[in-house]
Structure 1
């Protein structure tokens, strides 16, 4: 796992975007909260981990046209359209989280059961 400052995070995101898919983990200063961004093409999913047992998905402002497969860690995973964000919107969520440390500003989170 590679750690970096915000400039390094931007550089890594740009590298992954150039490859067409990727996965990033962003900490808010401590172990939790942890925000993850997984994407393939323009489809992205954002997870929020608030403790060892609580993981939530960011609900899309407007559901995508179809389900999509994005990376989670190193493996592709299928997500329903309700959680598929446009990559640019997902990146704005990451940027805001890095600046504020507040994942609640991103929108509605749905806890995984």
Structure 2
């Protein structure tokens, strides 16, 4: 999609700090990190949400999740714990409508806090 920020990152039209890249999936650092490790993992193909990706290509969804784990390993947070989050829809906080998994770690992420 020509107006999709993440499609532009995939196409190399918008810069990003790429940490992993495969044939169908790419991972890059979030520009507004919410934890010491905050990496976004996206499919290169455009799917607006995780629900739509799951309906269209469950294998690609599996690749996104597998890549999220590899990011956690590379970032050294797999042993201490990490979170993988998909925001689905505006009401859940999704602001870029190209499915993306947030990989968060490097600090306590217990919920509820306290």
Give TM class, smaller chain. Answer: under 0.3
Kindly indicate which of the two structures has a greater share of residues assigned to strand: 1
**Larger Rg over CA atoms:** 2
TM-score norm. by structure 1 comes to 0.28
Larger RCO, structure (CA 8 Å, separation 6 or more): 2
